[in-house]
């Protein structure tokens, strides 16, 4: 009975820590293992070797460190895109301010305003884009 309770608690803790990445890794691992069982029953050593290599690759890519590194890389790319969009917006806003201060014609100012509006929209999209 104590063993059953211990196993149940361990399973609860492992489920609580599961993430979409680990779930995907587990599903892929199970799929490969099923395919390996079929290949083993057929005595298809070539397919078995290919599947074993794929399983080894999956196991290497699905370590907690590898998953954390992918998340960190995705966050860095996301933040870089936001920073680039902010820099572009600042540059266009500065050009618009210069054109307005200089007394440039309204067509030119309207063109700079369109660029500023596009840059704001690009920044909004970069911020809203999910981290992948």
Assign residue 64 a region: left if phi > 0, alpha if psi is -120 to 50, beta otherwise? alpha
Tally the C-alpha atoms within 13 A of residue 119's C-alpha that lie toward its C-beta. Answer: 20
* Pair 116, 93: CB distance under 8 Å: yes
* Pair 72, 91: CB distance under 8 Å: no
Q: How confident is the model at residue 21 (pLDDT cuts 50, 70, 90)?
A: confident
Distance (Å, rounded) from C-alpha 29 to C-alpha 23?
10
* Pair 58, 28: CB distance under 8 Å: yes
* Pair 39, 47: CB distance under 8 Å: yes
Mind listing the pLDDT tens digit for each residue in 26-75?
899 999 999 989 988 988 889 989 999 999 999 998 899 998 999 999 99
Query: Mean pLDDT in the chain?
Result: 85
pTM of the model as a whole:
0.65
Q: How confident is the model at residue 5 (pLDDT cuts 50, 70, 90)?
A: very low
For residue 87, the model assigns a pLDDT of 97
Distance (Å, rounded) from C-alpha 71 to C-alpha 110?
41
């Amino acid at each position: 009975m104590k063993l059953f309770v211990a196993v149940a608690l361990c399973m609860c803790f492992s489920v609580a820590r599961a993430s979409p990445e680990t779930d995907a890794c587990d599903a892929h691992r199970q799929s490969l293992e099923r395919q390996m069982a079929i290949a083993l029953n057929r005595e298809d050593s070539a397919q078995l070797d290919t599947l074993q290599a794929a399983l080894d690759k999956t196991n290497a890519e699905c370590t907690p460190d590898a998953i954390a590194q992918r998340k960190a890389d995705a966050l860095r790319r996301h933040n870089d895109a936001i920073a680039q969009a902010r820099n572009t917006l600042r540059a266009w806003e500065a050009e618009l301010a210069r054109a307005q201060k200089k007394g440039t014609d309204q067509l030119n100012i309207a063109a700079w305003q369109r660029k500023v509006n596009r840059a704001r929209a690009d920044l909004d999209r970069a911020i809203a884009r999910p981290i992948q």
